Amino acid sequence: MPTPIRTTATRKLRTLLAALLPLLAALLVAAPTAAARTDAADAVPTATLTEVTDFGTNPSNLRMYVYVPAGVTANPAVLVAVHWCTGSGPDMYNGTEYDTLADQYGFVVVYPSVTRSSKCFDVSSPQALRRDGGSDPVGIRSMVDWVTRTYDADTGRVFATGISSGAMMTNVLLGDYPDVFAAGAAFSGVPFGCFATTDGAEWNSACANGTVTHTPQQWGDLVRGAYPGYSGPRPRMQLWHGTEDDVLRHPNLGEMIKQWTNVPGVSQTPAATDTPQSGWTRTRYGGTGDRAPVEAISLQGVGHNLYGYGMAARVLAFFGLDSGGPAPQPQPGACKVTATTNAWNTGLTASVTITNTGTTAINGWRLGFTLPAGQSITSGWGATYAPAAGAVTGSSAPYNAVLAPGASVSIGYQADHTGNSAAPGAFTLGGTACASG
């Protein structure tokens, strides 16, 4: 369990401020920022951790705690902060600094809390690993919906972060609800589906020990199977792991990288590698900035309880919440891709048209997509394709590298198949999700 970072004196000061704020607010002539709420009758006291009951469908009897800053913005972002095994929502509140950052940037923090005896989140049952299947993810989704209704929250800026069991739940939430969560940050977790069991057990030793390995395609298929048919943008993921983790061992970091690069279809080759702090190795995939599709931080010589003061600020930078404004999430619109296939017994040709729907030229494009299971590219034109199967990146040729605003380029490939001859269902251009048409 992480050591709480907040001192007793700080807690007393916060309690005093929480008591004074309503009195100060009564003296103000201007209406408070929180007037943006759409259901003021349900609003909670500001600047203090408050439990909310009757928040919606809650099949596993979770408890909901919420922190609303006194300066909550209109249409605020929502951050779901998920605790570790044996912990609770109040423990997560006390042991992290997300509430003080909410004071600074005006977002709302939700702290789910487990009531089952283990105090671990369900990340293993078949119900938890599918959208609206039941168990903890459904209750957490209800908490998000409650905040959205009550504070008219920005549904495009909902995020999840967690530690240990909460990190595993962060992976599950992003898999079950890719249309709800824009990004996640997992501290000492495992891939979506890695902890799966069918006998009711909450613990999966093989996964915890880092011995469960899959191909990127297999990991990605587990995520896609949680919400079959979904073809919209996928959440971005930030991953933190210590090399000496003896609870959820370090190989799980590599497996999560495989999974969360495959899901949006970005390359598993880092676009950037650096050392933001001594002993840290940070790799970014599908982009080089603070908001790349996937960011992984490996902490040399650090064990399971790696979360420390200052890391939450890096989470907010990845989410785009450190500016108080909307993060530039990879949403459809900067590009448009159409794809069709012409198939025969065991082969197919695919025709792909890429259109730059943005306002600036693209110089040197990289098209990411995931081939359906059983397909393997044998040749192509208009781009260089690698690898041949799974999460593929098509890189521009010298003669078509510049794509002006409104311009299109046609490329294609030939592939073998074992029965599924469909075109890929989603594409990204430079890590940005493209509209289909």
Distance, first Cα to last Cα, the chain: 48
Instruction: Examine the residue annotation and report whether 379 is marked as an active-site residue of this protein.
Output: no
Catalytic residue, candidates 164, 188, 298, 396: 164
For residues 318 and 185, is the Cβ–Cβ distance under 8 A?
A: yes
What does the H/E/C string look like for the chain? CCCCCCCHHHHHHHHHHHHHHHHHHHHCCCCCHHHHCCCHHHCCCCCCCEEECCCCCCCCCCEEEEECCCCCCCCCCEEEEECCCCCCHHHHHHHCCHHHHHHHHCCEEEEEECCCCCCCCCCCCCCCCCCCCCCHHHHHHHHHHHHHHHHCCCCCCEEEEEECHHHHHHHHHHHHCCCCCCEEEEECCCCCCCCCCCCCCCCCHHHHCCCCCCCHHHHHHHHHHHCCCCCCCCCEEEEEEECCCCCCCCHHHHHHHHHHHHCCCCCCCCCEEECCCCCEEEEEECCCCCCCCEEEEEECCCCCCCCCCCHHHHHHHHHCCCCCCCCCCCCCCCEEEEEEEEECCCEEEEEEEEEECCCCCEECCEEEEECCCCCEEEEEECEEEECCCCEEEEEECHHHCEECCCCEEEEEEEEECCCCCCCCCCEEECCEECEEC
Residues forming the active site: 164
